[in-house]
Structure 1
Amino acid sequence: EVIPSSPCRIQLFGSDPGRMAKAALKLKDVATWFDINAGCPVKKVTRRGAGSALLKEPGKIGEMIKALKEVSCVPVSVKIRLGWESVESERIIPPILEARPDAVFIHGRTVSQGYSGSANWIEIDRIAGTLHREGILSYGSGDLFSPRAVAEALDNHSIDGVVVARGAIGNPWIFKQARDLMELGTYEEFGLSERLEHFLNHIERLADVVGENQAVRDLRKSFAGYTRNIRYASNMRKEYMKCVSLEEVRELFRAFVPDFQVFK
C-alpha cells in the first residue's frame, strides 16, 4: 500500500534500468524524489546485482539515472560507496556525472569494509568538489553518531548536507540537537524518562500499522539506541526481548525507571 505523503522520497533497489523505470512510473503520483540505492552492502541485496553490486558496473548506474529522469519530473539521486574493495571513485563517478543526477549521497567506506573502520571523509570531500564543479549536490555519510559529529562534518567539508543513518537509531532528536548546536552553540540532552516517552510514542504509532507484537519485535534494535549510555541498560534490554505487547513494555518501564540514571 502506498500512503500519499509530502514530501515523499522513495529509494529504489534493483539491477535493471528498465524495471526500475517501470517501478518509478507506478510511484510517480506520490514520489517527490527518487533515489537509486547503489550503496547497500548487505549480501542478500548484492547477490541479486543490486545495491552496492552496481558499483562494479557504474555505467549501469548512469543508465538508471537517465531512465528515471525520462519517466519522472522529480529530482533523481543516487547513493554510493567509495568502491568495492578499495577506493574506485575515478571509475565510478564519471558515468554518474554524465547522467546528471540532482544529487549524490556518498558513504565514506568501501563495500568490503561494511561498517568497520572509519569513514573516509577526505575522499568524500574530493568527490564533493568534483560534483560541485558540475552543479550536482553532494551529501556525506559515515560515523555521524552525535550532534557534534554532524556539525563538524558540515563545517569542515565542502558538502551540501549530511545523511545520518545508524546515528539516528534510537536517537531521533539528533537532527534538532545538531541544528541547535550549529545555531545556538549548545543543545538539550534528553533524560531517561524523556527517551522512554519518545520510544513509547514510536512503538504505539508503529503498532497502529503492524500490530503490537510485530511492533515490539521490530523495534528491538531501536530500543538499544534509545537506552544507549543508560546505567543497567543491558538488563533492561534483556527484559525487553521477552516483551510481546505494549502493556508488557509499559510494565517493564515502570519496574526499571526508578532505578535508572543517565550518565553525565
Structure 2
Amino acid sequence: MQNAQAHAHDDNAIRLVGFDGDDTLWRSQDYFDAAQVEFEGIVGGYADLGDVRVHEHLYQVEKRNLALFGYGVKGMALSMIEAALQITGQRMSGADVQRIVALAKSLLQHPVELLPGIREAVERIAAERDVVLITKGDLFHQEAKVRQSGLAHVFRRIEIVSEKDADTYTRLFGEFELAPAQFLMIGNSLRSDIAPVLALGGWGVHMPYHTTWAHESEAEIRAGQARMRSVDSADELPTAVRELAALADRGRNPPADA
C-alpha cells in the first residue's frame, strides 16, 4: 500500500484505482459475438431466423437466467440450449446440442489477448496509486484469464465477484478501508463499472469497447458527469486518472449523481 500511504491522511484523495477485466484489460465480447453468429447458424437449420428473432430471444433467456446461472460462458451455453429448444419446438437434434456445448468449450479455451497499450497504462497508473482488479463472471474462467494475462502481479488485490452493483462496491470499500470518494473505477461497462461507483460518490473512467453486450449498456448517467471521464484508448487512461485525482485533491468533490 505504499502508493496509497502518501494520500492516507487526505479524505479527498483518490487512494485506489480499480480495473475491470473483460473488454477493459483483454478481449472478450468479440468471442461471444462470434459464438452468437454460430448459434444462429445452428438454429437456422430449424427455423426462419427472421421470424423467430433469434438474437432477441436468446438475450431475453440469458437475462432471465442471470439470477440462476450468473455471468459467463457456462450460463450462456445453458441459455443457448434452452432458447434453441424453445425456438425449434424441441426439434433440435442431440448432435446440434453437442455443437452448442463444443461452442462453449471453445470460448472457455480461447487465449487471453490484452488490449493495445493496456499493460503500459496499468503499470503507469500502478506506479502512482494502488490498483485492484474487480471482475465478474465464472470464477474458474476468470482466474484462468488473470493468470494468462501476465498482469496479476501488478494488482494489490484481485476480486472476482458474481455481480458489480452498489452492494458489491460498498462491501469492497469496507474491506479496502476507504471511502467511496477515495476510489476510482476504470471499465468499459456503464452498468457494472461506472454507474454504481458514481452513485456511491466515487469516480469513474469509461473506456468503451467497440462491442458491448446489451445488458452492460443498460445504465443512465447524466451528461457532463463531473466525476467521470471517457477515453477512446488505453494510452489516455493515465492522464484521465490524473485529471480526476487533481480534482479530488483540490477538494472539488461534485455530488454523487449517476
Task: Give the TM-score taking structure 2 as reference length.
Answer: 0.28
Query: What's the TM-score once normalised by structure 1's chain length?
Result: 0.28
**Structure of greater relative contact order (alpha carbons < 8 Å, 6+ residues apart):** 2
